Structure 1
Amino acid sequence: MKNLNGFNKGVNLGGWLSQCSYEKEHLDTFVNENDFKIIASWSADHVRVPFDYNIIENNDGTFIEEGFKYLDKAVENSMKNGLNLILDLHKTAGFSFDYYGESENGFFDSKVYQERFYRLWEEMARRYGKFAPNVAFELLNEVTDAEFIDKWNMIAKECISRIRKIAPDILILVGSYHNNSADTVQFLDAPFDNNVIYNMHCYEPLKFTHQGAYWTNAIDPKERIPFENSVTSTEYFEDLFSTAIAKAEQFNSALYCGEYGCIDVVSPEDTVKWFKTINSVFRKHGIGRAAWNYKAMDFGLSDARLDGVRSQLIELL
């Protein structure tokens, strides 16, 4: 399996240009250059920046120049601080991973929505393709239902083909269904070329990392689970990642985990234990990763609750 140079240890800037209020004050102030400096001081080599289509696209599909300025700033601040950058389309017209908080639907059956998706990425390639290898593209965050995978494989192939006409060398990340779960990477097609890599997310066991979560019916918000009752060894993650690793090895591709982390209900001590366990497997297999999340969003690594253990966590990212 290939190593993913430049994208080994990262942090997400979620909640800035995605899953947010979209008010100008928020977009202007939630993240600033100092945040990039802090992440660089953690010995990270990259940031992952989720953004929603409506930051840069009007309802009719025309582009919003003011919105691109935020992505420009993300690129500028990353490069100024020695960080690489993944631009992650977290929501596209007609699809969002968030069943409960978004009304987007119809993407996988709509040629109109799909064409907007292709045009968006063509525009992204025109603007940011020149920054390869320091900038990478993540086509779409967390495809949900298993029934979408065949269509998604075809859509991803067409999208990459169009990007390649503009940005032939930029790194492109593609994840599978069940919200980028590791055990569904095996159902993705072979990589389009050598600069396309497999992407997964990991919040397993969900009942541990998301205990108390109020936004999903998959969790009893009153249940509390200590680390020792959930994950006790690296074998758990070895088994969980095994088919994804095998798929990457089959095609000599790299494997990347774009999100992983523990909700703020989990104690700081148990958070450290979980990070230590999962990261030992990431490092063993050379899996690049970006922790969720830098600040707020119920997962903030820079939040005050983790002040006593942050130095340990930084070593474990």
Structure 2
Amino acid sequence: MRNLDGFKKGVNLGGWLSQGPLDKEHLDTFITEKDIARIASWGLDHVRLPIDYDNFENEDGSDKEGGYAYIDSCIEWCRKYKLNMVLDLHKTYGYIFDDEAHLLEFFHEKPLQERFYGIWRKLIDRYAKDADIMMFEPLNEVVSPTVVNEWNEISSKCIEIIRAKAPTAKILLGGVGYNAVTSIKLLPHHNDENIVYNFHCYEPMVFTHQSAYWVTGMPSDFHIEYPGDFNDYMEKSRQIEGCMHGAITESSLGLNSIGPDLFEKMFLDGIKAVEERDGFMYCGEYGVIDQAPLDGTLNWYKDIHSVFEKYGIGRAAWNYKEKDYGLEGEHYAPIIDELVKYM
């Protein structure tokens, strides 16, 4: 596996140009130059910038006036503070990863796919010049495991569009199942040395999503420490429906402990696939909800960090600010100076 220089340690800017309000006050104030300066002061080398199409496009596909200005500002700030950037199309027209009503039609309807290609033609026309600091991510989290072939075809065409203007830029490619690490091997093997293979990790779900209001069956007052007894983790995971799709519940992992061994065994399937392709590997999202105990959160970051470092995996923590995972704020203030050492 090759070393992903410039994208080793990062953080997501979720909630600004994605999954947030579109009003000017929010866009002007949620992330500013001071935030980018603070991220740089943590010793990180990049940010992942999620963007939703409706920040810069109207519903009819026309450009939204001023819609690119915030992306442009972020690039300017990143250059000033010597940070790189992942430009992540988090939501495209017709596909919204966290809305069950908009999970499948994109993969079967050509007009929606053409709109997607059009968005990327605009983005790469504008930002190919920034490829020296930027990695391009075609789409965040393909949810359904049933669209492997469709996504491989769509993403391959998108890569061609990006390559037409940015022939050597790094392109971040993830698979189905919410960018599951086990889906990396299902992605096409492009004859392209600058493809970076992407996955997300929020395991064990029962820890990183404890008390989360959006998890089916999760009690609002549920708490658990990390590390803990493996059998206790399994039992509690089975009691909460929304935690049962997590990798920790897969008996094939053969786990007997909760710790670094958990992450190494979960990642090995993807590591093997990337090593066979002599590629780069990157974890675009990982993190712990701000309802979790601080000591346990720090232990979790230390453990996953040790595996990232062992295998040279680049990564970006979720999330810098708010979105239930925000590192900047009161919850993480007591441990933030220590925590950023393990990002």
TM-score range relative to shorter protein: over 0.9
Match of 2:48 in 1: 48
Q: RMSD of aligned C-alpha atoms?
A: 1.4
Indicate if the aligned counterparts of 2:14 and 2:320 stay in contact, CA closer than 8 A.
yes
Match of 1:227 in 2: 226
- Distance apart, 1:115 and its partner CA: 0.8
Distance 1:218-1:206 versus aligned 2 partners, 3 A rule: farther
Match of 2:254 in 1: none
Match of 1:305 in 2: 331
Distance 1:109 1:232 in 2: 40
Match of 1:136 in 2: 135
Identity of aligned residues (%): 45
Indicate if the aligned counterparts of 1:182 and 1:244 stay in contact, CA closer than 8 A.
yes
Indicate if the aligned counterparts of 2:103 and 2:143 stay in contact, CA closer than 8 A.
no
- Distance apart, 1:132 and its partner CA: 1.6
Indicate if the aligned counterparts of 1:7 and 1:45 stay in contact, CA closer than 8 A.
yes
Indicate if the aligned counterparts of 2:209 and 2:215 stay in contact, CA closer than 8 A.
no
Indicate if the aligned counterparts of 1:93 and 1:104 stay in contact, CA closer than 8 A.
no
Distance 1:165-1:116 versus aligned 2 partners, 3 A rule: same
Q: After alignment, is 214-223 or 11-20 more displaced? A: 214-223
Secondary structure of 1:137's match? strand
- Distance apart, 1:103 and its partner CA: 5.1
Distance 1:35 1:17 in 2: 15
Q: How many residues align?
A: 316
Alignment of 1:94-109 (within 5 A): 94-99=94-99, 106-109=105-108
Q: Which amino acid aligns with 1:237?
A: F
Distance 1:10 1:29 in 2: 21
Match of 2:39 in 1: 39
TM-score, structure 1 normalization: 0.96
Match of 1:89 in 2: 89
Structure 1 gap segments, 5+ residues each: none
Q: Which amino acid aligns with 2:10?
A: G
Distance 2:190 2:330 in 1: 41
- Distance apart, 1:202 and its partner CA: 0.4
- Distance apart, 1:65 and its partner CA: 3.9
Indicate if the aligned counterparts of 1:4 and 1:254 stay in contact, CA closer than 8 A.
yes
Which residue among 267, 284, 294 is the counterpart of 1:258? 284
Match of 1:27 in 2: 27
Match of 2:62 in 1: 62
Q: Which amino acid aligns with 2:265?
A: D
- Distance apart, 1:222 and its partner CA: 4.0
Structure 2 gap segments, 5+ residues each: 234-256
- Distance apart, 1:133 and its partner CA: 2.4
**For each residue in 1:155-181, what CA deviation from the matched residue of structure 2 results, as whole angstroms up to 9, or x when unmatched?**
000111111111111111011111112
Match of 1:167 in 2: 166
Distance 1:67-1:174 versus aligned 2 partners, 3 A rule: same
Match of 2:111 in 1: 112
Distance 1:218 1:95 in 2: 26
Secondary structure of 1:223's match? coil
**For each residue in 1:124-146, what CA deviation from the matched residue of structure 2 results, as whole angstroms up to 9, or x when unmatched?**
11111111220111110000011
